[in-house]
Structure 1
Amino acid sequence: MQKRDKYREGERSQSTILSFSDHYSVNQGTANSGTFISSPPNVIVSDITFKNCSINAIGRNINLPGFVTAQSRNSWNDPSGFVFEGGSLTGNGSVNLGRPWRSYSRVIFHNTNFSSVVTPHGWNVGHYLGQE
């Protein structure tokens, strides 16, 4: 990872904390960690799996829902995507599970516990209605 102004701390797959300013970009496949914490305005990855992570979405503006993901693929057969397997999603305010960054988004939450912070519709298609 080449990133200015970053801070990493962890105990292998038991607890990993990432904190940094601006954007984080990685194309390394799977991140196996008990907890993943980030505090920038945007986190950017292209293809990643989070297993048994606790996601705490902290809203800056409680009146507007935020987004946990904004995934993008180049075509319908692009194998990339985001997978959240196990774990939980908590926080304050309200969040959508995701929105497409472009057409062909793929985000999977499998066996993940959601708190009441997740909006009832869960996903916001934005400008990509019909392409979700």
Structure 2
Amino acid sequence: MSKSIFVIVSLLFALLAAAVAAKNLKIDEKKTHEAWIEHRDAWIAQDLDRLAKGCTNDTLLIVNENTWFGTNNGKRVFSQIFKIVNQGDFVVDQLTVKRDIIYITWTCTIKGQAYFGTDTFIVDDKYKIKAQTVGSPLYRAYPIRK
């Protein structure tokens, strides 16, 4: 699938999920954006405890076709992700915040190879991340261990 089709399909899915999830909820997009800022800052600091603090105890994390639940598993996955992305340059290319959905596109370049990826985050009514999806060929080239 080409990069542009992948982005369009992913963004449409994220917006559809936002519409369904927020149908009967009053969502403060400013607070959703603040949840993103906290996650981003914890990511930059590579602070696993801070990342976990921004999630629920049963947060769902999907990386390509693999799934994990909970903050302890999330910390284990992110420790592996940091080892991977620290080998190169990681840049967030686009940010979209709508209702309770945060959607980013990003590029990670390792050894001259650029890997495109997307993340979609869904926050709960306390603006904690209750689900995150990550899709990228990066994690096929550098697999996350279960």
Q: TM-score, normalised by structure 2?
A: 0.21
Answer 1 or 2: higher relative contact order, Cα 8 Å, separation at least 6.
Answer: 2
Q: TM-score, normalised by structure 1?
A: 0.22
